[in-house]
A and B are shown apart, each in its own frame.
Chain A
Amino acid sequence: MKRPRSNQEKPEAIYYYGTCLADLLYSEAGMAGIRLLQGEGVRVIFPRHQTCCGQPAFNSGFQDEAREVAEQQIKQFPKNIPIVVPSGSCGAMMTRHYQGLFEGLPLHEEAQAFSDRIFELSEFLVNVLKIKLADLGAPVKVTWHSSCHAKREFGLGDEAKQLLRQLKNVELVELEREDECCGFGGTFSVKHSEISGEMVLDKTRDVLQTGADFLLSTDCGCLMNINGALENQGSRVQVEHFASFLWNRTHAS
């Protein structure tokens, strides 16, 4: 799939798909995404019965279980308006795998339409809303981890970095091996915890090498993983979702 999609007119309203990890672990980041969208004059609808895209089970080989949960999601987003997701990985699950998951089933067409309406948050802010950000924060150094699923599965470009570059007091330091996997991989991190652990250790070495104050990314799974490893080492690098970082920089608290 070739992204980004910029042919979309700015809509009056959009759906927001919070994702389970943002819901449970990074709720402020999830909320920041909503505020950024609202700030651009878009009405944000958050269907209350959404839970999880199904990826954890799907990637673990439990397709039937994933399908039941996915089915529940599709039904919550009936209107023909964009669905914005603050995660490239969940976005990839919903755009790349839903069609296959519902192949030959009554929900197939609906699943296809659902997939077609998915946008990742940074691509929507940049390509559709053409957001302009004014930095209010003190000078900081940040570095960026591009999530594998966002980049390779979803096909996300460097929209989030473009947003960071709009912030005048934010210095973006490139991360060595930026697109190498951090080792998360869902259940991979416990099924093959030793390999996963070595991968995240290498990632933290690269992060520390940059001298950055913040490590930012678009995916909560990677954030949770890298943050856990950095914290374990007593590092002071702050690991944050780009949505809450952007919101905090551009709005006085």
Chain B
Amino acid sequence: MPPETMPHQTLSEKSFLEDTAKALKDPQLRRNFKRAMSGLVAKRRNVFPNASEFEGLREQASAVRRKTLSRLPELLELLEFNCERNGIRVHWAETTEEANRIVLDIANEAEVRLAVKGKSMVSEEMGLNAFLEEHGIEAIESDLGEYIIQVDKELPSHIIMPAIHKNLEEISKLFQEKVDSNSTSETAEEMTATARKILRKKFHDADMGLSGVNFAVAETGTLCLVENEGNGRFCTTLPKIHVALMGIEKVVESLQDLPPLLTTLTGSATGQPITTYFNMISGPRREGEKDGPHEVHLVLLDNGRSKMYEDELLRETLLCIRCGACMNHCPVYTRIGGHAYNTVYPGPIGKILTPQIKGIENAGYLANASSLCGACVEVCPVQIPITEILLRLRHNWTRQNKKRHWTDKNRLELLIWNGWKQVFSKPGLYRIQAGLLGRLGNLLPKQTPILSRWAHFRSLPRFSKKSLHRLVEEEGIDHE
């Protein structure tokens, strides 16, 4: 895949609004998402049928994550110490550029031409595939969903199920066009078999395996990988070099911390009581061992996380274990799908992560794309107060806009809220306004700016002839 054909993401409110409108008008996409998300919601409900039991479970999971975050710097040092003791080389990267460079240096040192990849959202943050391509290294995705979208030159539309926007027929057509023109692959089993055959050879030929990390245990220097397809195990055992990519927040203190996180992770993500593969990587091949990589590297990526860590509320963004339940339950995500966001992380978690990673001035608009319904908060296995964080980001965005130059659109909004404040903080003015609205409010035409956006789907609200203030006055309700 030549680099110029790699998809890239544009962060702008304009393109977000355009892509949203486009997605809403795509009936196939709407059906694909609705079906997939309803299925996932039902599966999750089956594995956590009892609300109070789930509350107990997530209390535990959240407590583990909170405890970890409270000691993050210290645990990261402990992780580094124990990984190195196990023979895992630890690299620190403050930016995605640094992380990419670290991976490239490791690859160049060993003259790597082909790398196989297990699923890693951190690698998506880094844009690693495109970067390696630019430097003449082929990186093949081996997670089936990731493989599908890589073949179609797309980016993930969901953090757990990257190809969830496609249905079976679309994937079948893609396979026939791009993977194997002789293939008559139609069923999921047939297509999996085709991909498997191709990937087997890649696993065999690859000089480097790349993977993500779900949890890293500081006390033992163990990298834990949760997966369902076995491709992760291949990536981390077959090639002679394994490079694991991890956000700095993914550390836990001890092995005992894992059970509540694993249960809530798989249950929340796919409704599985347990994962199919759970890999614990504690170092490279040791003397006398017959398999395993000769080198294991761990790249710890910051990319804005330390900045989030500084603020007590924003820090809670780092509790995330990347289960995707927030997007599965989000009324916005389930209607527009993941691509419309144009971000690595879509859905509720993306709306709080992206403005913090990319800067509020570049991505603050994403925080507005929420009705603040809180469905995500209700299902989050580690109790991230997503709506609180969205509000904070909205407040920060406004504060920053007030200090800088306002765009025309923003200036209009400031004017509106300033006017609102003047009226609603002065009971006399408020009374005059209420009287005016009662008499004239219902005469406003549907075409009135701003109102027209409401009126596209709805009739206009009708103002009461007599306000409640007037009614209580007439009825002689006590005023003190």
B467 beta carbon closer than 8 Å to chain A = yes
A229 contacts chain B at the CB level, 8 A cutoff: yes
Among A119-127, A133-141, A159-167, A183-191, the stretch that binds chain B is A183-191
Name the prevailing secondary structure of the A interface residues.
helix
**Interface-facing stretch out of B87-95, B193-201, B291-299, B390-398:** B390-398
A198–B453 Cα distance when bound, in Å, is: 13
Bitwise, B452-468 to A at CB < 8 A (1) or not (0) is 01101111111110111
Cross-chain contact of B331 among A62, A152, A199 (Cβ < 8 A): A199
Q: B406: CB under 8 A from chain A?
A: no
* Interchain CB contact (< 8 A) of B467 among A27, A58, A60: A27
Do the beta carbons of B458 and A200 come within 8 Å of each other?
yes
Q: A44-B477, A51-B424, A193-B457 are in contact. Are A25 and B463 (CB under 8 A)?
A: yes
Nearest-neighbour CB distance to chain B for A189, whole angstroms, equals 6
Cα distance A37–B390 when bound, in Å? Answer: 36
* Cross-chain contact B478 with A46 (CB below 8 angstroms): yes
Q: Does A49 sit within 8 A of B, measured CB to CB?
A: yes
- The answer for the CA separation of A181 and B471 in the assembled complex, in Å, is 31
Q: Is the pair B463, A231 in contact by a Cβ cutoff of 8 Å? A: no
A43 at the binding interface (Cβ < 8 Å): yes
Cβ A69 vs Cβ B421 within 8 A:
yes
Q: Of A24, A186, A191, which is within 8 A of B463 by CB? A: A24
Contact of B421 among A68, A183, A201, A225 (CB under 8 A): A68
Pick from B336, B387, B458: contact of A228, CB under 8 Å: B458
**Contact, CB under 8 Å: A192 / B20:** yes
Give A205-253 interface residues, CB cut-off 8 Å to B: 224-225, 227-229, 231-232
Are A181 and B371 in contact (CB-based, < 8 A)? yes
In the assembled complex, A153 has its CB within 8 A of some CB on chain B: yes
| Residue interface mask A169-187, B partner, CB < 8 A = 1 | 0000000000111011111
**Cβ 8 A contact of B336, one of A23, A65, A189, A195:** A195
Min distance, Cβ A49 to any Cβ of chain B, angstroms = 4
Among A67-88, those with CB < 8 Å from B are 68-69, 71-72
CB nearest neighbor in A for B401 = A61
- Mask of A23-35 contacts with B, CB within 8 angstroms, 1/0: 1111110110010
Closest to A34 in B: B477
Q: How many residues on the B side are at the interface (Cβ–Cβ under 8 A)? A: 66
Contact residues of A between 2 and 58, Cβ < 8 Å to B = 13, 16, 18, 20, 22-28, 30-31, 34, 43-52, 54, 56-58
A60–B417 CB distance below 8 A:
yes
**Bound-state Cα–Cα, A200 to B413, Å:** 24
Residue of chain A at shortest CB distance from B376: A152
Q: A212 to B440: give the CA distance in the assembly, Å.
A: 33
| Most-contacted residue by chain A among B20, B336, B420 (CB, 10 A) | B420
Instruction: Please give the residue numbers on chain B whose beta carbons come within 8 Å of chain A beta carbons, in ascending order.
Output: 17, 20-21, 24, 331-332, 335-336, 367-375, 377-378, 387, 391, 394-395, 397-399, 413-414, 417-418, 420-421, 424-427, 430, 434, 437-438, 441, 450, 453-454, 456-464, 466-473, 475, 477-480
A residues with a Cβ closer than 8 A to B are 13, 16, 18, 20, 22-28, 30-31, 34, 43-52, 54, 56-63, 65, 68-69, 71-72, 97, 148-149, 152-153, 179-181, 183-201, 224-225, 227-229, 231-232
Q: List 12 A-B contacts (CB under 8 A).
A: A30-B468, A46-B472, A61-B394, A69-B424, A72-B425, A72-B427, A148-B371, A149-B374, A152-B374, A181-B371, A183-B331, A229-B458
